[in-house]
Amino acid sequence: MAFSALRFVYLGWIEEHYIEPIFHFSYYGFSWVKPLGVWGMYLVHALMFFSALGVATGRLYRVSAIFLFLTFSYTELIDLTYYLNHYYFVSLICLWLIFMPEPDAQFRMPQWCRFIILFQLTVVYCYAGWAKMNSDWLLEALPLRIWLPAHDDLPIIGPLLVYPETAYLFCWFGMIYDCFIAFFLFYNRTRPLAYFTVIVFHVLTGLLFQIGVFPWVMIGSTLIFFSIHWHERNLNILRKIKVFNALFKLDYPNNNTVNNFHIGPLLRAFLFVFIVFQLLFPWRYLLYPGNLFWTEEGYRFSWRVMLVEKAGDATFYVKDGVTGREGIVYNREFLNIHQEKQMSFQPDMILQFAHFLGKHYSTKGVQKPQVRAEVYVTMNARKAQLLIDPHVDLMQVKDTWAPKSWILPYSP
Amino acid sequence: MKKSGILLFCLVAVLIGVVACKKDDPEETKPGFDRVAMLTAYRDQFIVPAYQEALSKSTSLRDAAQAFTAAPSTELLGSLQSAWIDAAVAWQQACMYNFGPAGESGILKSLQEELATFPVSETKLNSILSTGTWNTSDFNRDARGFYAIEYLIFDPLSDAQTLVERFNAQMRRDFLVALCNDVRNRISTVQNAWSSYGSEFISNSGTDAGSSVALLYNEFVKSYEAIKNFKFGLPLGLRPGQTAVAPELLEARYSKISFRLAKAHYNHIVNLYRGVDESKSFKGYLKTVTGGEALVTETETQLSVLAGQFNALDENLDMADRIVNNPQALIDLHTELQKNTKNFKSDMSSLLGIAITFTSGDGD
C-alpha cells in the first residue's frame, strides 16, 4: 500500500555532476568516507540510478534497496558542506525501505511500514514548525524579509514580495503549516484540502528558494497519508495503462505465497531505538550554551530548514611555530565557492579546514604550524561580528561533542 | 467539517487583503529596487565603455607595434611603450567583467586569464624567441597577452638602444605583432558580442545563480580579492609557506607600473560599487534592503581609509623596490583591503540575497 506513493519519488535524484575539490569536509565520525575519483563517482551514481529504478519497479527489490541506501548515503557523507535536511530525510527513508518486505498477494504491507514513514514525516514537519517559533522568525519576519524581495521579478506574486507584510504572512503561515499540516493530513475530512495546501506550499517555496528536489520529495511522500482505498483507485487507473503496468509490476503477484508479516524482536527493537532517537536527537542543542543559530552546536539533523540567513568571511592565518612568520591563506586555492561559503560560518567546518591547512603547510615547509582564523559572520542582516576567538591556535583544538569554548558569544 | 482548513484559508485571505490594501495606498512609496535600471546603468556606463576604451587602446598598441617593427628606433620604442601603458591601464577597467562573452567557454578561459595572466613565464617566452614557433591559442596563457608584450618591450636592466637592437631579429618583430594582434582581437570579439549580449544581460534581472546580478557581483568580489591576493599579498610574501618577499610575482614588473595598475583596478571596483548614479548601483541597492544602511556606512568608512592609504603613496612608486626595502605601507594597505573583504563579500551577498552558487541549500 505504501508503494504506490513511494515509488515515483525516486526518479530524478541522480545528479551527474561531480567536481573534485582538493579538500572535503567530513561528518563527525565519518572522516574515513572519501570520494572515489571521477569514474568511481560516476559508477556510484549509475548504481544509485539503477537501484532507484529497481526499488521503484519492484525488481530485485531487496538488493536495490540496500544499494540505494548505501550509494545515496555515501555521496552525502563525502562532504559536509553539502548537508541538506532533505537528503538526510531521503537517506532515512531509504534505510527503512531495506527492511520493508515485498507486498503479498493482496498487495498488502505490514502496518509498521506505513507507520514509520508517517512518523518520520510528522517529525519533520512538527520539528520544523517548532524551530520556527523564535523571535526573529515571528516578530521580525527574518530571514524571509531578506530573501523574499530578491525574488520580486516572479510573475503575479513578485511585486508583493517587497513588502515586509508579505514576509510576516509567509513566516506565520509557514510556522502554522509546519506545526499542523501532518495532523490535518491524518484526518479524512481535512486531508484533501490539506494536501492541496501541501502542493501550494511546496511549489511556492520551490519557486522562491534554491532548494532542489525538496518540494517534490515532500509532495510525493505525503501521499502516504491517503487511505488504502484512494491508492487502490489510482492504481486501478494506472493498471489500465499498459506501459505503467509492465514497468512497475502493478498487477497482483501471480504466485500465491503469502509473506510472513511477523515483526521480529530485532526489528521491533530497531524501530523503538529509531523512534526514540528521532524524538530526542533534535533536542540535544539544549545541552549547549549560547545561541543555537549562532554556534550551530546541535543544529544539524534536527529538521531546521530555511531558518536563518548567515554568511561569513573567514581569514586563516598560518604561523610558523619556529620562525614566527605568519601567512594569510587564500581559501579558494583549496575550496570551491560553495564549500568556502558554507565553511565560513560553521565552527566545526572552520576547525576541520584549519587542521587541513596545518597539515598541508607542514608539508610545504612551515614548521610546527599554528592556525588561527578571523571569522566575521553576519546573521539575519545584522552587523557582522567575530564568530570565534581569533587568537586561539585551532591546531590545539579537537572537535568533540563538548561545547566549543572558542566560539565567541553572540551579541545582538 | 474542514473548519480548520477554512479557518486557515480565511486567515490567508485576510492577510492577502491587508497586503493588497497596503499596495493601493498612494501615500506608501513603493519599496523594492529596480534591478533592471541598475543593470542598464552598469552596461551603458561601465561595461560597454570599458570594452570600447580597451579596444581603442589595444588598437593603438597594435598600430604602434606595427610602426615600430617596420622601422625600429628608440623614438618609436618610446611611443610603443606609452601605447602599452595606456592599454594596460585601460584594461584594468575591463578586467572584471569575466562573464557572458568574456566568461569561460570550453577550453577558453576568462578574458582576463587569456590576456592578462601574470607573472609571465620568461622560460617559455625565451624558448619561443629562440625557436620562432608560437601559438596564441594554446594553454600557455603565461606566454601571451599584455605582460608577454611587456616582457618584449621593457627591460629595467637595459637601455633603450639595447632593447631596439634586440628587434633586429625578424622573429621577435613578428612575435610582438602577433601578440598585439591577439590581444586586440580577443577584446574586439568580446566588445562586439556585448552588442547582442547586452539585452540578455538586462533582461536576466533576477538574483538567482546565473542571473546578471549574481554574475556581475561574483566577478566584482573575485576581482577585488585578486587585487588583495595577487597584486599585494603574494608579492609581499604574505602567503603561508612563503619565506621571503616575492617581487618577481608582481604584475607589470618590467615596466614598473604595478602600483599604478593596482590603484586603477581598485578605483574602478569602488566606482562600480558606487555607480555613476548611486540609485542605480550596488550601493544604492543595499540602501533599500534590511540592514543595508548600516553596511553602506561601514563600507564607506573603510573605503575612505583605503583611499587615504592609496593616495598617500606616489602613483609611480616602484613596488618591487618598496617590497624589498620598505614594505610597511604596502602591508598596511593589504591589511585594510582585507578588512573590507567581508563588507563586499559575505555581508553584501547575504543582505541582497544574491545566490552565489547553483548548489541547492537549506537556507542556513
pLDDT in tens, A54-101: 877 777 888 888 998 998 898 888 888 888 888 899 899 889 888 887
Mutation target for B interface from A139, A154, A325: give the one with most B CBs within 10 A.
A325
Please tell me the total number of residues recorded for chain B in this structure: 364
What pLDDT sits at residue B30?
54
| pLDDT value at B19 more than 70 | no
List the CATH code of the domain at B33-199: 1.20.1420.20
What pLDDT sits at residue A21?
63
Query: Which residues 281-340 of B are in CB contact (within 8 Å) with A?
Result: 289-292, 294-295, 298, 338
Q: Could you give the percent of chain A with pLDDT greater than 90?
A: 43
Shortest CA gap A387–chain B (Å): 13
Asked whether the beta carbons of residue B4 and residue A190 sit closer than 8 angstroms, the reply is: yes
> Do A263 and A333 share a structural domain?
no
Asked whether the beta carbons of residue B360 and residue A211 sit closer than 8 angstroms, the reply is: yes
A vs B, Cβ pairs < 8 A, gives 190
> Do A203 and A65 share a structural domain?
yes
B73-82: average pLDDT: 97
**Residue A47 — pLDDT band, cuts 50, 70, 90?**
confident
| pLDDT value at B6 more than 80 | no
A319 three-class SS: strand
Q: Is B26 on the interface with A (CB under 8 A)?
A: no
| pLDDT value at A18 more than 70 | no
B54-74: average pLDDT: 97
Q: Is B7 on the interface with A (CB under 8 A)?
A: no
> Do A326 and A274 share a structural domain?
no
> Do A316 and A255 share a structural domain?
no
Can you read off the three cell numbers belonging to residue B220? Answer: 566584482
| pLDDT value at B292 more than 70 | yes
> Do A228 and A110 share a structural domain?
yes
Q: Is A173 on the interface with B (CB under 8 A)?
A: yes
> Do A319 and A215 share a structural domain?
no
> How far apart (Å, rounded) are the C-alpha atoms in residues B201 and B211?
8
Mutation target for B interface from A79, A204, A331, A341: give the one with most B CBs within 10 A.
A341
Mutation target for B interface from A328, A346, A380: give the one with most B CBs within 10 A.
A328
Q: CB of A331 within 8 A of CB of B338?
A: no
Is A404 part of a structural domain of the chain?
A: no
> How far apart (Å, rounded) are the C-alpha atoms in residues A8 and A350?
39
Which residue has cell 571521477? A38
Which among B233, B289, B364 has the least Cβ separation from residue A146? B289
Domain containing residue A269: 3-285
Is A47 part of a structural domain of the chain?
A: yes
Can you read off the three cell numbers belonging to residue A399? Answer: 572537535
**Chain A residue with minimal CA distance to B233?**
A328
Is A296 part of a structural domain of the chain?
A: no
Q: Report which of residues B173 and A106 the model is more confident about.
A: B173
Q: CB of A5 within 8 A of CB of A185?
A: no
**Chain B residue with minimal CA distance to A323?**
B243
Instruction: For residue A187, give every residue at least 6 positions away whose Cβ sits within 8 Å of its Cβ, in sequence order, or none.
Output: none
Mean pLDDT of chain A: 84
Q: ipTM value of the model?
A: 0.86
Least confident segment among A67-71, A252-256, B181-185 = A252-256
> Do A331 and A279 share a structural domain?
no
Q: CB of A411 within 8 A of CB of A377?
A: no
What pLDDT sits at residue B213?
95
| pLDDT value at B271 more than 90 | yes
Which residue has cell 543582505? B351
Is A401 part of a structural domain of the chain?
A: no
**Residue A251 — pLDDT band, cuts 50, 70, 90?**
low
A385 three-class SS: strand
Instruction: For residue A268, give every residue at least 6 positions away whose Cβ sits within 8 Å of its Cβ, in sequence order, or none.
Output: none
What pLDDT sits at residue A201?
92
Instruction: For residue B71, give every residue at least 6 positions away whose Cβ sits within 8 Å of its Cβ, in sequence order, or none.
Output: none
Is A86 part of a structural domain of the chain?
A: yes
Q: What is the pLDDT of residues A172-182, one digit of tens each?
A: 999 999 999 99
Is A408 part of a structural domain of the chain?
A: no
Can you read off the three cell numbers belonging to residue B60? Answer: 593603438
Q: CB of A391 within 8 A of CB of A404?
A: no
**Residue B361 — pLDDT band, cuts 50, 70, 90?**
low
What pLDDT sits at residue A64?
87
> How far apart (Å, rounded) are the C-alpha atoms in residues A229 and A249?
19
> Do A324 and A247 share a structural domain?
no
Q: Is A376 on the interface with B (CB under 8 A)?
A: yes
Q: Could you give the number of structural domains in chain A?
A: 2
Which residue has cell 625578424? B170
Q: What is the pLDDT of residues A103-127, one digit of tens each?
A: 665 666 777 888 888 999 999 999 9
> Do A316 and A199 share a structural domain?
no
What pLDDT sits at residue A149?
87
Which residues in chain A touch residue B12, judged by CB atoms under 8 angstroms apart?
169, 173
Q: CB of A138 within 8 A of CB of A132?
A: yes
Q: Is A193 on the interface with B (CB under 8 A)?
A: yes
> Do A332 and A275 share a structural domain?
no
> Do A365 and A269 share a structural domain?
no
> Do A218 and A270 share a structural domain?
yes
**Residue A250 — pLDDT band, cuts 50, 70, 90?**
low
Secondary structure of B282-322 in HEC code, one letter for each residue: HHHHHHCCCCHHHHHHHHHHHHHHHHHHHHHCCCCCCHHHH
Is A403 part of a structural domain of the chain?
A: no
Least confident segment among A18-27, A149-158, A368-377, B102-111 = A18-27
At B17, the amino acid letter reads G
Please tell me the total number of residues recorded for chain A in this structure: 412
**Chain B residue with minimal CA distance to A309?**
B364
Is A67 part of a structural domain of the chain?
A: yes
Going by their DSSP bridges, the two strands A385-386 and A326-328 should be labelled as unpaired
